[in-house]
Amino acid sequence: MANIFKRREAPIILFTIVLFCIFSLISSNFLKPDNLGLILTQITTTGLISIGMLMVILFGGIDLSVGSVLAVVATVVGMLVNAGINPFVAALIGMVVGAICGAFNGLFIAWFNIPEIITTLATMFIFRGIAVAISGGEWVTNFPDSFNFFSQGKIIGIPVPIALFATGAIMFGYILSQTRFGRRVYAIGGNKEAAKLAGMSTRKTKFLVYISSGMLTSVAAVIYASQVGSIQASTAGSGIEFTVIAAVLVGGASIFGGVGTMLGTAFGVLLMGMIKNGLVLTQASVYWVDATTGFILILAIIINTVQRSRNLASREGDLV
């Protein structure tokens, strides 16, 4: 039991439990099965994108373009299914589009050494512009009933969105913790120069991470499009990057790289979803949801900075 509380994820797990209890006491509707199912379903979009963002942050990067990638993929997939393309084929094409967006980011970051924040800030506008251009600025709507599978269908009794998020979390959690690729991601984030000296290909790793992030975002985009039933390219996914970053950081990942786990990120996503749902049930203004996200984000960064300063001070003390 003592070892559990020593884990890096312990604070976020305990805080999630406490918040769960608080919202249960404040609102009688919070514990209803339908509401709990709604929370789990609603966090899947953020959750899938958070998996990719975790990998990006682990190597010391950032991706501000995920909301725009979601917009362009959702728009493309929506237009394809409206044109009579099989929803599963459209979803696969959407994943290819997401991978291309990720590769575009990875190319400029890994091979041209343009800082992540500059590259993804630029592509945030580029991808959003592409989404608006191909849709003509019009709503993409009237999806066929078969497209509802991605939001309302079930796989062995489990809602499709939850099944996809759980599968992604387990798969990439294994990749990060048990494979050579995962160890490279952590090593690059922990000490980039040492990773290079050890013969690790930092460029290839970054490139693959951004492709993975793009593909995960594309899966989230398909679910999102199916859930909302209509896409406005200029606003779809807008601001989701900050919710995702907040979820990853509050889940115990370090903004400086090299530290973080899939379990912590999953609880971070759950926490953010619970806060949004709880505030709605308590009839708080929708604007408080954004304010709370911003507060959690800056609090997580402050904690990250303090922890990093303490770790550096501890290392310097060991050398004296």
Tens digits of residue pLDDT in 99-129: 999 999 999 999 999 999 999 999 999 999 9
Nearest to 217 by CA among 247, 244, 186: 244
Q: What is the mean pLDDT of residues 158-164?
A: 93
Domain boundaries, the chain: 44-319
Helical packing angle, 240-250 and 33-58, nearest 10°: 80
Confidence band for 301, pLDDT divided at 50, 70 and 90: confident
CA distances 132 to 21, 76, 235, 288, Å, are 43, 11, 9, 29
Q: What is the mean pLDDT of residues 30-38?
A: 89
Residue 295 has pLDDT above 60, yes or no: yes
Higher pLDDT, 71 or 290: 71
pLDDT for position 317: 53
Residue 187 has pLDDT above 60, yes or no: yes
158 DSSP β-pair partners: 155
Higher pLDDT, 87 or 137: 87
Mean pLDDT (the chain) is 87
Question: What residues contact 291, with CB distance under 8 A and at least 6 apart?
Answer: none
Kindly tell me the number of DSSP H helices and DSSP E strands found in the chain.
14, 2
CA distances 90 to 192, 209, 218, 225, Å, are 39, 23, 11, 12
pLDDT for position 259: 83
pLDDT for position 63: 94
Confidence band for 308, pLDDT divided at 50, 70 and 90: low
Confidence band for 88, pLDDT divided at 50, 70 and 90: very high
- Rounded to the nearest angstrom, the gap between the alpha carbon of residue 209 and the centroid of all alpha carbons in its chain is 13
pLDDT for position 283: 77
- Rounded to the nearest angstrom, the gap between the alpha carbon of residue 46 and the centroid of all alpha carbons in its chain is 5
Residue 6 has pLDDT above 80, yes or no: no
pLDDT for position 319: 44
Q: What is the mean pLDDT of residues 170-188?
A: 92
Structure tokens at 277: 């749902």
> What are the backbone angles phi and psi of residue 155, rounded to the nearest 5°?
-120, 115
pLDDT for position 314: 59
Is domain 44-319 classified as CATH 1.10.3470?
Answer: yes
pLDDT for position 163: 94
